[in-house]
Amino acid sequence: MKEGSPGERVPGLEELTPIRVKSVSPFSLARYLMGQEPDLNLNPEEDPYGVIFQRLKELPQPDQESLLVGFFENGVKNFPHGEALGQKLAEINNIAWFEPKGEINPAVLHGHIDEHLSRLGLDPLPLRTINNWLEARVTSWGAAWDTSRYIARMTSRLAAQDASLVAAREAAWDAAWGAAWDAAWDAARSAAIVEARVSSWSTTSAEGWLIMALRAAGDIARVAALGVADDAAWVTVEEDIMPKRGHNESNPFSPLTQICKLGCYPIGVVPKEEVRQKFAVFIPQYQKPRF
């Protein structure tokens, strides 16, 4: 049997020396996972994060979490909050994108939205729901929440960069932030695009509208993936660095991930003008296609 083939442990990979934070990559993650679960049949030389996380879905979520925590805690030396990041990535990897399970309770959406806005120091807003892919795409173009999200993202990123310059410990905060963001973004984007196009295809009948809906779905999926990537990256700096930057609130992106887990997409604050602003959420009318 060829070394590394399914069903056979790859000799020596289980005992790999922990790598530096700056060396975290799809290659290093795939190599670690193959040492633990050869049946995943990964190719460390070629597989991007999207493929790696798709293969991980073959395992139950607790097993995914155990492997990811093991990598960031044991496979990487001094990765900031590796356990929390492994748990977060497993959570993100199991989001049922754009697939609501039954009726969505507006009170639940309100709770997540209010928490998100509160953590950014913003006042609560009324809820606006959208059920059409094309309308959701157009609305997202005019959403103002991207500005607050961008500010929050850059605040955490700059905090990581500043910490890397002054930290006496070996862990590179900026590299950890980047590794977390890249892994979550690639994994979520790949899965979200597939599910968004399936969902839009199954709920759009006219051929001309279908093409437009498929394009809209791809755009929406990419933006939705940004939110969960920001969520994962924040984990690496939340406890140690952000309080020093004056941000004592919890992760502002986590409530948005909870909305995504409901099968919805948090578009954001619309319109940009302050008059009659609302927080828009896209709730797909999902139906599995019949082949």
Q: Within this chain, do residues 33 and 115 fall inside the same structural domain, yes or no?
A: no
Contacts of 8 (CB under 8 A, 6+ apart): 1, 38
Question: What pLDDT tens digit does each residue of the chain (291 aa) get?
Answer: 333 333 344 444 445 689 999 999 999 999 999 999 999 999 999 999 999 999 999 999 999 999 999 999 999 998 999 999 999 999 999 999 998 988 899 999 999 999 999 988 888 999 999 998 888 888 887 776 566 666 676 667 666 666 554 444 434 678 888 999 999 999 999 899 888 877 776 655 544 455 666 777 888 888 889 889 999 998 998 877 777 777 777 898 999 999 999 999 999 888 765 568 899 999 987 554 443
Mark whether 207 and 273 lie in a shared domain: yes
Give the residue from 252, 237, 235 showing the smallest Cα distance to 90.
235
Burial call 116-150: b when 16+ CB within 10 Å, e when fewer: bbebbeeeebeeeebebbbebbebbeebbbbebbe
223 part of a folded domain = yes
Per-residue pLDDT at 31: 95
Same domain, 110 and 208: yes
Query: What is the pLDDT at residue 27?
Result: 97
- Asked if residue 163 is part of any domain, the answer here is yes
Instruction: Count other C-beta atoms under 10 Å from residue 291's C-beta.
Output: 3
The torsion angle over the Cα atoms of residues 78, 83, 88 and 93, rounded to 10 degrees, is 90
Query: pLDDT at position 146, please?
Result: 61
122: left (phi over 0), alpha (psi -120 to 50) or beta: beta
Predicted confidence at residue 74, as pLDDT, reads: 95
Distance separating alpha carbons of residues 228 and 255, to the nearest angstrom: 10
* Lookup: tokens for 262: 């409901």
Residues in CB range of 6: below 8 A, 6 or more apart: 38, 39, 41
Query: Residue 75 and residue 80: Cα distance in Å, rounded?
Result: 13
Last residue within a domain, chosen from 68, 93, 118: 93
- Quick one: 244 and 119 in the same domain? yes
* Residue 132, domain member (yes or no): yes
Let me know if residue 1 belongs to a domain.
no
In this structure, are 69 and 159 located in the same domain? no
Does 198 reside within a domain?
Answer: yes
The predicted structure's pLDDT at residue 216: 78
- Provide the pLDDT for residue 221: 87
User: Are 155 and 46 in a shared domain?
Assistant: no
Instruction: Tell me the pTM.
Output: 0.84
Region of residue 205 (left: phi > 0; alpha: psi -120 to 50; beta: else): alpha
For residue 140, what are its two tokens? Answer: 């997202």
Amino acid 273: pLDDT: 59
Q: Is 100 a member of any domain?
A: no
Residue 5 lies in a domain: no
Tokens of 152: 């929050």
Name the domain boundary from 50, 71, 93. Answer: 93
How confident is the model at residue 218, as a pLDDT? 80
Distance CA 230, CA 113 (A): 16
In the chain, how many domains are there?
2
Phi-psi region of 247 (alpha: psi -120 to 50; beta: other; left: phi over 0): beta
Same domain for 117 and 35? no
Which of 93, 123, 153 lies at the terminal end of a domain, its last residue?
93
- The strand ranges marked E within 95-150 are 127-130
Asked whether the beta carbons of 237 and 175 are under 8 A apart, the reply is no
Give the residue numbers spanning the domain of 147.
Answer: 106-282
Residues 156, 116 share a domain: yes
